[in-house]
Amino acid sequence: MKMPPCMVWLPADHRLLGDHGHQMPFLLLGDKYARAVKVGVEAQPVMFPLADVGDIPELLSMVDGVMLTGSPSNVHPSHFDEEVADPSLPLDPVRDTLTLALIKACVHEGVPLLGICRGFQEINVALGGTLHQRVHEVPGRMDHREPKTAPFEEQYAPRHPIHLAPGSVFETWAGGPQVMVNSLHGQGIHRLADGLEPMAQAPDGQIEAVAVRGARTFAYAVQFHPEWRCWENPFYSAIFAAFGHACRQRRSLRLQAADLARHRPG
């Protein structure tokens, strides 16, 4: 019997699109994230448009993993008891409401979870941590933002090294103690949530990868963008391959549970 594809949930961004003053709300998912799931994870990306917090238990029972994508929008600072530092930057409160609850559910239920950039920041905030709203204005920190007017190949090019926790899976995936990564973020971890363990740091000390302490399955997040042409980068592709392995493990358990339920008498 052909196994059904692994299903990975990528929550949508919410943006107003349009011109001439007429804008409509859209639900968006970046192609490169969906493609990284398709090619790197070998799974089917699903978005569940308009999903809300009450839908999480049922929708989680239908998927094998959750991937929280990057986004130009920032996590609303009210979630870490701050005022908005730069009102010119986009926010996405609808996404915040869903993802912050979804993260807790994934950790509680043991659903494989991968956070990328904004997703990395959401995981830290959901578990009680805080963010620098403008890393580049923090004394001693580099400017981690991308050159916005440069071609995408330059924006997503390797920008700085990260030093990996000795003996960690990240060191294994990288094949050594440090590796170059891209960098496209203005926000970053300030206070690390107690439930997270740092896995990598930039030369200026900025945390660049974390693991959920005591997780029963894959539960990692990265500040950089491994989805960018992941099939061309052994480190990036190793992250998605490990995520895919965890998703397939969950799929087997899910299908076994469904089979038992079907054959349960009465």
Ligand X SMILES: N[C@@H](CCC(=O)NCCCC(=O)O)C(=O)O
Phi-psi region of 219 (alpha: psi -120 to 50; beta: other; left: phi over 0): beta
How far apart CA 136 and CA 158 sit, in angstroms, is 18
Among 225, 230, 243, 251, binds ligand X (CB under 6 A): 225
Task: Give the binding range for ligand X (CB under 6 A) out of 160-168, 179-187, 241-249, 256-264.
Answer: 179-187
Residues 13-42 that bind ligand X (CB under 6 A): 30
Opening angle at CA 124, ends 218 and 13, nearest 5? 85
Min CB(71)–ligand X separation in Å:
5
Min CB(25)–ligand X separation in Å:
19
132 binds ligand X, rule: CB under 6 A: no
**Residues 102-121 vs ligand X: string with x where CB under 6 A?**
---------------xx---
| 187, 144 contact by CB (below 8 A) | no
Task: Give the binding range for ligand X (CB under 6 A) out of 3-11, 44-52, 165-173, 184-192.
Answer: 184-192
Smaller CB distance to ligand X: residue 73 or 201? 73
- Indicate which residue of 117, 132, 185, 208 is catalytic: 117
* Burial class of 162 by CB neighbour count within 10 A (0 to 12, 13 to 18, 19+): buried
Closest CA to 43 of 67, 27, 22: 67
187 binds ligand X, rule: CB under 6 A: yes
Smaller CB distance to ligand X: residue 217 or 223? 223
Question: Rg of the chain over CA atoms, in angstroms?
Answer: 18
Smaller CB distance to ligand X: residue 75 or 217? 75
Min CB(86)–ligand X separation in Å:
10
- Indicate which residue of 171, 225, 230, 247 is catalytic: 225
| 230, 240 contact by CB (below 8 A) | yes
183 binds ligand X, rule: CB under 6 A: no
Min CB(227)–ligand X separation in Å:
8
Whether 117 sits among the annotated catalytic residues: the reply is yes
237 binds ligand X, rule: CB under 6 A: no
Among 45, 77, 186, 244, binds ligand X (CB under 6 A): 186
**Residues 65-84 vs ligand X: string with x where CB under 6 A?**
-----xxxxx----------
Residues that bind ligand X (CB under 6 A): 30, 70-74, 117-118, 184-187, 225
Query: Which residues are known catalytic residues?
Result: 117, 225, 227
